[in-house]
Copies of this chain bind each other. A is one copy, B any other.
């Protein structure tokens, strides 16, 4: 566990650049620390002031009496390095550089930021920021509000880490104002030294943090993220903005480094078990559930309601998010029929009608908890004027307490006149949602996280490969795109099946070559100046015999540019099966990513592709294949047999291993790969491999 106590549990804080002007960052930090009742000492530092908010001012951090754990630095950017030096001399453990004007502004700022980081590292001072908000900790032993923001925080169990200060406040204010509260908060801006993964790991060990909400704009160090975050046990709810090109450009212009590829986010979040959200609101609403509820064992949701129409909204959303809503068992239905009003529906949702009493509610919800058919339960509760709603709330809390192992969410549709009802629920550990769809989405997020946490890591299978021969091929190759024959040979070293092919420089060699490959064949004529072979009529597929072959050659020769040398490529004709695509791409410190998806024209139009990290475990390969939206094309379908999935996975594993073993492979593009029902006929039909020096 990284020790970041100096930032989150300091006993004394110096504010370097303290000011008596109310509308300044340093004044506000001191005011916030005081107002929130910081348990330690606060020392304003300024060369001329004598007192700030009744606190004596020191001329320099070196003049502060006693130890200083943490220093905020809010001074001109070019003075920051010297402040770091003074802090080091004083023995300050951590410095928060709130000052902006660093890497977010360009090259000069970047150089200054690097200087600050290197200085901190050489002098043993951790640096938080620059260009950042700060941190908060609602632990009553600390009561730290070391931030210049406006939010009214309250204690809770959600810790928030957001790179950008604006989003940090949006998340923080939502959770604090809605009564959920926060545990700790960090917004570390350019993050030149103390990193996001470090803070996450620190919070993983914090007993008061139940769930972590993470908003990122860039991955400073993907490898550190992967290695650190994949070891975190607490649920991390993640969001990465800049997913649109326009958003990414804005992100690049306003904060530090950019590695905006949405793909990288998917790969890293998935590999680390971070559940990804697409909007700040869904992220916050999920956090509400994670703060109070356990993870479910499955995806079966039972809904109880006193109004049909909102429960239908919840049901539509839940089903759309992959939850299932089985009916209660016959026995439970019978019991409910006996105990509820005759007009009630005892399916799922159980609809008791608006007149349902507290007793009805208790009966129905308890029945779902004990039925055995449900992994999650939701109460969809609209407050009628003719019902004891506070009594209903008490019943819901009672049943919830009796079944703490099953997540229970409440959609409370009401207004502030029923504030007591809401309070009873919230004090009973049942925070509420207003819109039925919000509750359903949060339920789905709980189930998604349970699946993410519960999935097998899998194993790296033992594949028979000729690694040495592959290395020889790569060593002999220059930089750039490998010639087709060498690319095919490289794949064969790793047991990846490639369509048989031969190249003939002379027309008279072609018929014999075709016999060697075996009919039917594909013929391609390569001539200088012809790039789009299909359009130029220089490709003929499914040639069944020598007569067809000769005819095709005649036609192509006639079409070739006059006087051009024609080279003939003959390939085994692969038919049947489904076109898929596989690929790899070098990803810096992460090694390589592996891509799998539907191939041929599908790749570009459907963009139904999934990514993982090389080498793939068997389980990871399964997830890539199972994760396709239109994966049904791989199954038995319309009288067509399913593709041989084991062979498909085997090929995918070999592709991943090849990329992992040979970092010189910068890019592999295998498209199409014909995935066949008969695994022995699965073939890579086209391959392009780009290599580069290391």
Within 8 A of B (CB), among A143-159: 148-152
With A and B bound together, what is the CA distance between A345 and B105 in angstroms? Answer: 10
- Bound CA span A436–B101, Å: 26
- Among B152, B307, B343, the residue within 8 A (CB) of A417 is B152
Q: Other than the known A249-B347, A601-B633, what 5 A-B pairs have Cβ atoms closer than 8 Å?
A: A166-B308, A173-B413, A174-B434, A253-B347, A601-B637
B316→A253 contact, CB < 8 A: no
In-complex Cβ contact of A250 among B170, B345, B605 (8 A) = B345
Q: List, in ascending order, chain B residues with CB within 8 A of A544's CB.
A: 548
Q: Which residue of B lies closest to A350 (CB)?
A: B250
Contacts A170-B413, A413-B173, A601-B637: A164 and B253 contacting too (C-beta < 8 A)?
no
Contact check, A217 vs B633: say whether CB atoms are below 8 A apart.
Answer: no
- Chain B residues near A459 (CB, 8 Å)? none
- B250 and A311 within 8 A (CB): yes
Interface status of A592 (Cβ within 8 A of chain B): no
Q: Quick check: A246 and B105 within 8 Å, CB to CB?
A: no
* Chain B residue with the shortest CB-CB distance to A163: B309
Q: Is the pair A413, B307 in contact by a Cβ cutoff of 8 Å?
A: no
Complex Cα distance, B22 from A255, in Å, reads 60
Q: How far is the CA of A47 from the CA of B535 in the complex (A)?
A: 89
Are the CB atoms of A535 and B639 closer together than 8 Å? yes
Query: Could you say how many copies of this chain the assembly holds?
Result: 2
Contact B169 A413 (CB under 8 A): yes
Provide a sorted-by-A list of 30 A–B residue pairs whose CB atoms are within 8 angstroms: A23-B386, A28-B386, A100-B343, A105-B343, A150-B383, A150-B417, A166-B311, A169-B382, A170-B434, A177-B415, A177-B416, A244-B315, A244-B316, A244-B319, A245-B319, A246-B315, A247-B312, A247-B315, A249-B347, A250-B315, A253-B308, A254-B308, A254-B351, A255-B309, A281-B435, A281-B438, A534-B640, A535-B639, A604-B637, A605-B632
Bitwise, A547-569 to B at CB < 8 A (1) or not (0) is 01000000000000000000000
Q: Which residues of B contact A348 (CB under 8 A)?
A: 246
Give the residue of B162, B415, B435, B640 whose beta carbon is less than 8 angstroms from that of A150.
B415
Q: Known: A415-B151, A434-B174, A437-B280. Contact between A166 and B309, CB under 8 A?
A: yes
Q: Considering the complex, which residues of chain A in the window 409-443 have a beta carbon less than 8 Å from any beta carbon of chain B?
A: 413-418, 434-438
Chain A residues packing against B (C-beta within 8 Å): 22-25, 28, 100-101, 105, 148-152, 162-170, 173-174, 176-177, 215, 217, 241-247, 249-251, 253-255, 279-281, 305, 307-313, 315-320, 325, 343, 345, 347-349, 351, 354, 382-387, 413-418, 434-438, 532, 534-535, 542, 544, 548, 601, 604-606, 630, 632-633, 637-640
Contact A312 B349 (CB under 8 A): no
- A474 CB to nearest chain B CB (Å): 30
* Residues in B neighbouring A152, C-beta threshold 8 A: 415, 417
Report yes or no: A310 in contact with B25, Cβ–Cβ below 8 A: no
Q: Compute how far the CA of A434 lies from the CA of B174 in the bound complex, rounded to whole angstroms.
A: 9
Cβ-neighbour of A308 out of B164, B244, B280, B320 (below 8 A): B164
Given A100-B343, A241-B313, A253-B351, does the pair A319, B639 have CB atoms closer than 8 Å?
no
Residues of B within 8 A of A639 (CB): 532, 534-535
The 5 closest A-B pairs by CB, nearest first: A164-B309, A166-B307, A254-B308, A244-B319, A23-B386
Say yes or no: B250 contacts A308, CB within 8 Å.
yes
Chain B, residue nearest A239 (CB): B313
Contacts known (A166-B413, A383-B150); A316 close to B435, Cβ less than 8 A: no
- Within the complex, what minimum Cβ distance (angstroms) separates A536 from chain B? 9
